[in-house]
Amino acid sequence: MDDEDVLREVSRTLLEIQYDCEIKEASSGNKAVKILSDDAPFDLILCDYKMPDGSGDTVYNFTKKLQKPPAFILVSAWSHTESSGMENLLSDSEQNAYVSKPYSAEQLYEQIDTVMASLNGMKVESGPDFCRINAHKFLQSEFDAVCVYLKLSERKYVKIADNTEAEKKEIIQKYIDKNIKHVYLKKNDYDLYLKNLFDKVKEKIDSEKLDTGEIKTEEIFPLQITTIEAIHDVVYNIGIDEKIVKLTDQYISSTMNAVKSQKKLYALLETIFLDGNYIYVHAQLTSYIICALCRESYWVDKTHERDLVYAALFQNAFLDDNKLAMVYDNSSADWQELNGQQKTLVRTHMVKIVSMLEPLRSFSLDAQNAILNHHERPDAKGFPRGLTDKQISPYDGLFIMAGHFAHELIVQGTSPERIIKLKDYFKTYYNVGNYQNAVEAFNKVFK
């Protein structure tokens, strides 16, 4: 109800777009009271305050006397505390709310969703500690000992299933059918979920392959995140937004097109993309991170940004062995275990891939150098050249940080606590010499 025809029209349109509901309109408080007393019970009222012929409090006071008072959302330029007779609106019932005029569609939907959730006995919770999971993947995982939430707004979540809910699968499926793509778990439950996933993969590998000596323990870790949906979940959880994901995906598909005519390169890229292993996950994850870092670096133009995403995809493409691609430190035990031929491959994979990229004439020199130097480190302990923080370029710095960060996320896991620790470590470890430009961007992306 609103005395302004235009505003009623806007509200009606917004409601019809989002909800399957029957709507009645009134242009004054007294007309609204008449409708409320004549017609069937209403679930929800959206009501302006200042109206001629009966203001918002007339309607509110009337609804309070009804046998089943509807949820009441005051939509007004003045808050409930500034509106006579409405002071107790929020304390009267959890199913009441206030939306300030002028409002955005999101603000209106958020309040309606919150009120309706409460009306249906669902509990709304708020906080930053919710982690996103692809709803399909969650169903497939058959892990159901956790509470499952939907996101209402930036910080508000509603519980759709308890940890003991017997029909959890059916409930989630119902939301998937309504086009809901993600569900949310609290961070402790998210850790349990990942652990369960990991145990399952490990069990599977133990029974199928470990006894044949084909797969070693270190190769099991990246299998936590092998699908593009799971990679996206990690990307969102570390704080990269959807715009960057979309932009990176565009770069990735343009890379595929650009190399289509290069049979050898295309075959290489296809192998990376078909194979849900470390090289694939690392390439994808690095591409999102480098794109986000470039966007926060005023000195990187769009051509360089695109080329660095290309570089992210190709950096380890010459290595067809995940174990070799995972060697990030040439003083580690993993390195010591390699034979001479394998060590040579690790030391030279960056040179080999750059020479294979030569037919791509548009591929910039800076991006080629970024690949060549992707294992260098700020303490000059990287390989193959052991360059110091003064000897690398700012582009190298961005690329090195992105690839290294992606690697640690895969190996160390992506629980919220782990992500915070890793971010802090990177902000300090890289804060020297020519890496400082990259750290500046890193600080902006990963606050």
Residues that bind Fe ion (CB under 5 A): 316
CA distance linking residue 9 with residue 140, whole number of Å: 43
**Nearest to Fe ion of 146, 370 (CB atom):** 370
Cβ(270)–Cβ(367) below 8 Å? no
Residues 6+ apart with CB under 8 A from 134: 181, 182, 227, 229, 230, 232, 233
**Strand-pair category, 124-126 with 156-161:** antiparallel
Q: Which is nearer to Fe ion, 237 or 316 (CB)?
A: 316
Residue nearest to Fe ion (CB): 316
Cβ atoms within 10 Å of 277's Cβ, excluding its own:
18
Q: Residue 316 CB, nearest distance to Fe ion (Å)?
A: 4
195 vs 323, beta carbon nearer Fe ion: 323
Backbone angles phi, psi at 148, to 5 degrees: -115, 135
**Nearer residue to Fe ion within complex by CB, 134 or 316:** 316
Rounded to whole angstroms, the Cα distance separating 286 from 57 reads 56
The SS3 of residue 320 is: coil
Classify 109 as helix, strand or coil.
helix
Q: Is the dihedral of CA 91, 93, 95, 96 positive or negative?
A: negative
Instruction: Please name the helix (run of DSSP H) or strand (run of DSSP E) that holds residue 404, with its range, or none.
Output: helix 394-412
Under a CB-based contact definition with an 8 Å cutoff, are residues 397 and 430 in contact? Answer: yes
Distance from C-alpha of 282 to C-alpha of 301, rounded to nearest angstrom: 24
Least Å from the CB of residue 309 to Fe ion: 16
Confirm if 236 and 289 have CB atoms less than 8 A apart.
no
The 8-class DSSP code of residue 69 comes to: P
Q: Considering beta carbons, is residue 316 or 368 the nearer one to Fe ion? A: 316
List the Cα angle 325/329/330 in 5-degree steps: 100
Q: At closest approach, how far in Å is the CB of 360 from Fe ion?
A: 19
Query: Phi/psi at 182 (nearest 5 deg)?
Result: -130, 145
For residue 73, CA distances in Å to 9, 14, 32, 131 come to 17, 15, 14, 30
* Residue 419: CB minimum distance to Fe ion, A: 22
Cβ at position 374, least distance to Fe ion in Å: 6
Residue 265: CB minimum distance to Fe ion, A: 17
CB nearer Fe ion, residue 237 or residue 315: 315
Nearer to Fe ion, 42 or 395 (CB): 395
Please identify, using beta-carbon distances, which residue of 284 and 316 lies nearer to Fe ion.
316
Closest CA to 351 of 379, 314, 382: 314
Q: How far is the CB of 440 from Fe ion (least distance, A)?
A: 25
As measured in angstroms, the least distance from the Cβ of 433 to Fe ion is 22
Shortest approach of Fe ion to residue 327 CB, angstroms?
Answer: 8
- Cβ proximity to Fe ion: between 173 and 393 the closer is 393
